[in-house]
């Protein structure tokens, strides 16, 4: 796994969602879980909002997203399949979470 559970958390999704929104979310969950399975990653339980801990040096999710996109472009990767995406994300994220000063190595 790229991050491991020590860098992720979840909370129950709000139960007051409208029926159309709930059905949209169910479809999104199914599609995402199919993509994860195709990449060799266990499906996520539905009904939750999922979060990851930001690596040191990042104060927003947008910063991390921008960094990921820049790294993919810099390396001229074109992940076409879920397994390609897993390899790309592992190569980019592992040093951020396991590098010097990271919360994983500092504990």
Segments forming the whole domain that contains residue 41: 5-106
Domain count for the chain, please give it. 1
Reported as a single tens digit per residue, the pLDDT across 24-52 is 888 888 998 998 899 888 888 888 888 88
Residue 8 has pLDDT above 60, yes or no: yes
pLDDT at residue 49 in the model:
84
The stretch 79-86 carries a mean pLDDT of 84
Q: DSSP letters of the chain?
A: --S-GGGEEEEEPPTT--HHHHHHHHHHHHHHHHHHHHTT-PPPPSSEEEEEPPPTT--SHHHHHHHHHHHHHHTT----SHHHHHHHHHHHHHHHHHSTT-HHHH-
Global confidence as pTM: 0.68
């Amino acid at each position: 796994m790229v991050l491991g559970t020590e860098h992720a958390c979840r909370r129950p999704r709000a139960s007051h969602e409208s029926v159309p929104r709930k059905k949209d979310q169910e479809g999104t969950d199914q599609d995402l879980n199919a993509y994860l399975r195709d990449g060799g990653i266990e499906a996520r339980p539905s009904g939750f909002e999922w979060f990851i801990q930001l690596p040191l040096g990042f104060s927003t999710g947008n910063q991390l997203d921008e960094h990921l996109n820049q790294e993919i472009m810099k390396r001229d990767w074109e992940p076409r399949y879920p397994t390609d995406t897993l390899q790309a994300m592992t190569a980019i994220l592992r040093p951020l979470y396991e590098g010097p000063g990271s919360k994983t190595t500092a504990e």
